Amino acid sequence: MDTETKPTFSKSTGLPRKKFYRARAHSNPLSDSHFPIPISPSHVDLSLHFPKANNEASKKIEFADIGCGFGGLLISLATLFPDRLMIGMELRDKVTEYVKERILALRKTSSEGEYENISVVRTNSMKYIPNYFEKGQLSKMFFLFPDPHFKEKNHRRRVISVDLLDEYAYVLRGGGIVYTITDVEELGEWMKSCLEKHPMFESLTQEELDSDPVVELLCSATEEGQKVARNGGQTFRAIFRRIAYVS
């Protein structure tokens, strides 16, 4: 692929330019979708997503960024955890396309073979998470600045709810961590209360939060987080661990 000839790419950095990939901020996650969905996790073709990652056959995706947006967090995590495979999931077509181009461009420009461990997929994570991951496959899940869905009748569309946490708990291994952050206080309260209510999640202590390098990235690495910081806004975090549980 020759980036020089593509008008949607920046000439100086070789990266795709965001202004050609704008999309509506909202998307109805409950509507039926028309993109291909793997029949089961064993049907996910990793070689398509990570062609050069020096992975043994047993290597599996460990981090999932749900609603990855323009992919800022993924790109920061890629260098922080170079030996882990991670995937971003995004419902909006154009945005997914942007992240894909961005990762390909980064892989091309990187001299040390970086960014081979990240990829993106267009999917509806509220419906098809179990089609991508086996039970206990993931160690980290990210829900950064999700759509707040203010109206009460749209609360079913929120990406964090007690019911969806059942599914997230299923794909997370024991000790796996869910990171959530938002700039909307009401949603922050909602996500926190859902996680507190759920019997399979417990809150991280302050020391654990301080020692986790990822926590800082939640705000600084994402495009939404930078926007909030620029405007001097507040953010609300809820970071919980998946615990073993006998029902």
Could you give the CA distance from residue 111 to residue 208 in angstroms, rounded to a whole number? 34
Q: Are 61 and 46 in contact (CB under 8 A)?
A: yes
CB nearer to other proteins: give 67 or 71.
67
Q: Is 35 in the site for other proteins (CB under 8 A)?
A: no
**Contact (Cβ atoms closer than 8 angstroms) between residue 107 and residue 81:** no
Give the neighbor-by-neighbor strand order of the sheet with 201-203: 118-122, 85-90, 61-66, 138-144, 172-182, 236-242, 201-203
Q: Does 94 bind other proteins (CB under 8 A)?
A: no
Angle between helices 185-197 and 162-171 (to 10 degrees): 60
147 is catalytic: yes
Site mask for other proteins (CB under 8 A), range 145-164, x = bound = ----------------xxxx
Q: Of residues 199, 213, 220, 234, which one binds other proteins by CB under 8 A?
A: 199
- To other proteins, the closest distance from the beta carbon of 119 in angstroms equals 21
**Is 208 one of the binding residues for other proteins (CB under 8 A)?**
no
135 scored as a contact of other proteins (CB under 8 A) = yes
57-95 burial by CB neighbour count: b if 16+ within 10 A, else e? Answer: eeeebbbbbbbbbbbbbbbbbbeebeebbbbbbbbbeeb
Nearest approach, Cβ of residue 91 and other proteins (Å) = 14
Q: Is 144 known as a binding-site position?
A: yes
Tell me which stretch binds other proteins (CB under 8 A): 11-19, 73-81, 112-120, 128-136. Answer: 128-136
Closest by Cα among 161, 228, 229 to 192 = 161
Residue 218, H or E segment: helix 213-220
State the number of CA atoms in the 13 A half-sphere of 127 facing the CB. Answer: 18
> 61, 78, 126, 177: which one contacts other proteins (CB under 8 A)?
126
Given 15, 23, 137, 170, the residue binding other proteins (CB under 8 A):
170
DSSP at 161: -
Does position 60 interact with other proteins (CB under 8 A)? The reply is: no
d(CA 122, CA 37): 9
Is 222 annotated for ligand binding? yes
Q: Does 166 bind other proteins (CB under 8 A)?
A: yes
Q: Is 62 annotated as a binding residue?
A: no
Q: Which residue, 41 or 82, has its beta carbon nearer to other proteins?
A: 41
Residue type at position 147: D
**Residue number, 122 or 198, with CB nearest to other proteins:** 198
**Cβ of residue 12: shortest distance to other proteins, in angstroms?**
44
Question: Judged by CB under 8 A, which of 10, 40, 54, 226 binds other proteins?
Answer: 40
* Residues annotated as catalytic (active site), given as ranges: 147
Residues that bind other proteins (CB under 8 A): 39-41, 126-128, 130-131, 135, 161-167, 169-170, 198-200, 245, 247
